[in-house]
Chain A
């Protein structure tokens, strides 16, 4: 039981409170009881005295009426015999008839004692007549005694009632609260919630507060156990994560570190220590300031830190770390905010990258072959020079565009390595010729540029050009044999010929083109009309692109007649441009541009397609006419692959022998082996190959043997000027004879009259083509015209 009376325990407290409450209740009750008891005692005493008086009333009346002292005394003595009465006084109209008092009491004087009784005495005969009064003084000691007894009784009663209640309460408390609670407490001490122990509900407390408390405790225990388990799992996972991250941190190749607001590095990994060449975080003595490291620009690092703190956005910086005894090191720093006052930093060694970048930049600026500046570098220098001029206007400069004449032929002859050697030699000669502050550049294979500083009067320029060309003209010794070389030079002046680098370069090139077009080995100043022409060409090029898109081209057909049987055998397809504003444009106005711009391939394929379609149409109409199409050197070999021709023929169902291709000597000159294999492939398809404009160029007889040709077309120049007996006549005759001996057919172009026709026929020429037969015409006129020609030719000795 000792544990029930824990100091400050419920039982002790309850008992104390109960006792205190009972004492208070007792005191209040006793006080109240005393008051009530006194009043009751006095009331009862009065009632008894009144009753006592009633018994002697008539005698009193008589005694008073006759003023009989004897009788009055007798009555008073009788009253006094009652123990409660202390004194009796009888008055008759102011005169005391009797005054008796209990012997042992001290005479009462002065104030009427508490509870004393006075009654008037009436005449026995006249009720309204008051004749005297009687005073009856009760004995207070007797009343007090009564009261005392009463109070003692009630107090005793109250005391045992309260004691009973208190006892009951204690028992109840013990049985229903203290005992279960202390049992629970004992169980709780022994309980191990993690082992699954739970608090048993005390017997009989299934639905009481105690029972619910036990339930709550169990629920709490369950939750706590759950929380503990979760926490434990979390901690385990956290430890694992931490180990993992620690390993990453320690083994990372990148430097990882934490920077505080002041720039202090709070912690860093071994990789950073290696990168910075400092001790590890554990051994490092003192504070490590990021900005205090030996950066080339510490203020940039400081700004990076401040910037990241200000914007709360990650930022990066490549900073050069100066290391006295070692090579300088480029570090890429990435700082990201991870809290209000902390940045997480990562540092990479980007020295190799920076080195590579620098090398690439150097490479980008120089020409590897000659070591001269390249085009980009020249442009940059031009721009900076122009900027300088705008800031401090002074004398301008001169830009030369130097293009070697026919260098390609030379490399083809001597080989690329020897060509490179020549280029290096040229670079050396140019350097020797110009001043040290002038700039030399190699723009492409055989094109050089020279920027002559502070030079823009024509006379001096002429002198410099003279020196340059003279120097370049000296023979180059390759494998002991001298090689002669000339150059075309375009000259532009800044600021008069162009205000920016691109236009200066373009204008110099235009001037050079003009020099080259004039035969090369000379120089030309830039002339604004050149730019105008170039502009027109550019315009034309745009129009042509649009023409290709909108199919503004059309094929015209010029009949070719077989002289032996006086019939149209076929036609040459000639392209025309139906310009929406300028009308029909002949090919010589636009084909050069088409060839330069690369549009030639698209147009060539369109021509092939259209020609095949036309052949198919003729075939369907029962005609046996063949058709030849012109192929430019630019289309060989990839612009018009033999496979594409085969495909077109197959798609349109055209026999290969009815399509012919016309090429010029230029094709054979450009790339002999490629041209050869292309021609072989085409001939393999069964397509005849015509050599156009024969007699105007080299007209090398070796071509005729080396290339698989079927037909020669004699250039109109010879045919037109043919007169019996003149040299043209002999030349044509010789060509025809030669061709026939080689097994080649011959087409004479530019036949303009019957006489020519007749002469050609006499020479044994196979075919004729020209205005005498017909001009080139659209497809829809061709059939009619061919019939007409056939008719005309059939008539012997046409009058025309």
Chain B
């Protein structure tokens, strides 16, 4: 797994150096959700609620581990690094009540899952957003 990690880090550095814009939170356009607040996004991604304001279940999807976007997202969302996020989840691991977001294996899988799984919600680079997707939350500049 070590060569893969190195490769990801390099990629991240490459992409990062290429385009370091904030991620945006998106849902499938057909879902009918217009906007989410920062709090709502936090609740959903940090396991407090697994539902949209409309009441429909929400399924958060994480970028693959080591993704610079993922790091950036949590940094911007709850101001914690990835280790803290991991520790958080590991503390909840045994009670089984709350589970971490679904983990995609790649960026593409993220979009795939987003489009396929009901109630999916994920964060992307703004450049990855297309018509099938709708931005419901943007980090303020």
Q: Which residues of A contact B46 (CB under 8 A)?
A: 65-66, 125
The answer on a CB contact under 8 Å between A126 and B92 is no
A591 close to chain B: CB less than 8 A: no
B30 interfacial by beta-carbon distance below 8 Å: no
Q: Is A126's CB under 8 angstroms from B95's CB? A: no
| Contact across chains for B88 and A67 when beta carbons are under 8 A apart | no
Given known A-B contacts A59-B91, A62-B88, A124-B88, A68 and B98 have beta carbons under 8 A apart: yes
B96 within 8 A of A: yes
B97→A66 contact, CB < 8 A: yes
Chain A minimum-CB-distance residue to B77: A125
Query: Is the CB–CB distance between B92 and A71 below 8 Å?
Result: yes
B39 at interface (Cβ–Cβ under 8 A)? yes
Q: Is B78 an interface residue (CB 8 A)?
A: yes
- Chain A hits for B66, CB < 8 A: none
Nearest chain B CB to A515's CB is how many angstroms away? Answer: 186
Q: Is A179 at the interface (CB under 8 A from chain B)?
A: no
What's the nearest-Cβ distance from chain A to residue B97, in Å?
4
Within 8 A of B (CB), among A27-65: 59, 62, 65
Partner among A59, A70, A126 whose Cβ is within 8 Å of the Cβ of B97: A70
Chain B: CB-nearest residue to A71:
B95
Say yes or no: B96 contacts A71, CB within 8 Å.
no
Distance to closest chain B CB from A634 (angstroms): 178
Given contacts A71-B91, A124-B88, contact A66 B98 (CB under 8 A): yes
Digit string of B93-118 for contact with A (CB within 8 Å is 1, else 0)? 01111100000000000000000000
Knowing A125-B46, A125-B78, the reply to whether A67 touches B97 (Cβ < 8 A) is yes
The CA of A69 and the CA of B77, in the complex, are separated in Å by 25
Q: Which residue of A lies closest to B94 (CB)?
A: A70
Question: How many angstroms from the CA of A357 to the CA of B66 in the assembled complex?
Answer: 174
Check if B95 sits within 8 Å of A68, measured CB to CB: yes
The answer, among B39, B42, B79, B97, for a CB contact under 8 Å with A69, is B97
Nearest CB of chain A from residue B39's CB, rounded to whole Å: 7
In the complex, A334 Cα to B95 Cα: how many Å? 142
Contacts of B39 in A (CB 8 A): 126
State in angstroms the CA–CA spacing of A176 and B92 once bound together: 81
| A65 to chain B: closest residue by CB | B48
For residue A70, which residue of chain B has the nearest CB? B95
Query: Is B47 on the interface with A (CB-CB < 8 A)?
Result: yes
User: Could you say which residues of chain A place their CB within 8 Å of the CB of B77?
Assistant: 125
B95 & A125 in contact (Cβ 8 Å cutoff): no
**Residue in contact with A66 in the complex, picked from B48, B79, B94, CB distance below 8 Å:** B48
Interface residues of chain B: helix, strand, loop or mixed (majority)? loop
Chain A residues with Cβ under 8 A from B95's Cβ? Answer: 68-71, 74
With both chains docked as a complex, state the minimum distance between the C-beta of A63 and any C-beta of chain B, in angstroms: 8
Per the bound structure, the CA–CA distance linking A66 and B43 in Å amounts to: 9
B residues in contact with A65, CB < 8 Å: 46-48
CA distance A67 to B49 in the complex (A): 9
Check if A70 sits within 8 Å of B96, measured CB to CB. Answer: yes
Q: Are B92 and A125 in contact (CB under 8 A)?
A: no
Q: How far is the CA of A512 from the CA of B92 in the complex (A)?
A: 187
Q: How far is the CA of A71 from the CA of B96 in the complex (A)?
A: 10
**Cβ-closest chain A residue relative to B78:** A125
Distance from B51 Cβ to chain A, minimum over Cβ atoms (Å): 13
Q: Which of A116-151 contact B (CB under 8 A)?
A: 124-126
- Which residues of B sit under 8 angstroms from A70, Cβ to Cβ? 94-97
Output the nearest chain A residue to B91 by Cβ-Cβ distance. Answer: A62
Residue of A nearest to B98 (CB): A66
Contact with A along B48-86 (1 / 0, CB 8 A): 100000000000000000000000000001111000000
Tell me if A66 and B42 are in contact (CB < 8 A): no
B47, A66: Cβ atoms closer than 8 Å:
yes
Residues of B contacting A66 in the complex (Cβ-Cβ under 8 angstroms): 46-48, 92, 97-98
Chain B residues lying within 8 Å of A71, measured Cβ to Cβ, are 91-92, 95, 97
Binary interface encoding of chain A residues 74-89 relative to chain B, with 1 for a CB under 8 A from any of its CBs, else 0 = 1000000000000000
Taking a contact as CB atoms under 8 Å apart, the answer to whether A68 and B92 are in contact is: yes
Contacts of A74 in B (CB 8 A): 95
Instruction: Produce 1/0 per residue, A445-470, CB < 8 A to B.
Output: 00000000000000000000000000
Question: Which of chain A's residues have a CB closer than 8 A to the CB of B88?
Answer: 62, 124
Which residues does chain B contribute within 8 Å of A124, judged by CB atoms?
Answer: 88
Q: Closest Cβ of chain A: how far from B126's Cβ, in Å?
A: 24
Q: Report the minimum CB–CB distance from B47 to chain A (whole Å).
A: 5
| Nearest CB of A to B91, in Å | 6
What is the distance, in angstroms, from B28's C-beta to the closest C-beta of chain A?
26
Within 8 A of A (CB), among B4-50: 39, 42, 46-48
Determine how close the nearest CB of chain A comes to the CB of B32; give it in whole angstroms: 27
A66→B92 CA distance, assembly (Å):
9
Q: Determine how close the nearest CB of chain B comes to the CB of A76; give it in whole angstroms.
A: 13
A62 cross-chain contacts in B, Cβ below 8 A:
88, 91-92
Report Cα–Cα, A126/B92, bound state, in Å. Answer: 19
User: Please, how many angstroms separate the alpha-carbon atoms of A68 and B96 in the complex?
Assistant: 9
A contact residues around B96 at 8 Å (CB): 70
| A124 CA to B98 CA, complexed, in Å | 15
Bound complex: CA A124 to CA B91 (Å): 13
Known: A67-B48, A68-B97. Contact between A126 and B42, CB under 8 A?
yes
A-B contact pairs, 13 of them (CB 8 A): A59-B91, A62-B88, A62-B91, A65-B46, A65-B48, A66-B98, A69-B97, A70-B96, A71-B97, A124-B88, A125-B78, A125-B80, A126-B39
The 7 A-B residue pairs whose C-beta atoms are closest, nearest first, are: A70-B95, A66-B98, A125-B78, A68-B97, A68-B95, A71-B95, A66-B47
A binding-site residues for B, Cβ under 8 Å: 59, 62, 65-71, 74, 124-126
Q: A66-B92, A66-B98, A125-B46 are in contact. List 8 more A-B contacts (CB 8 A).
A: A62-B91, A65-B48, A66-B48, A67-B48, A70-B96, A71-B95, A125-B42, A126-B39
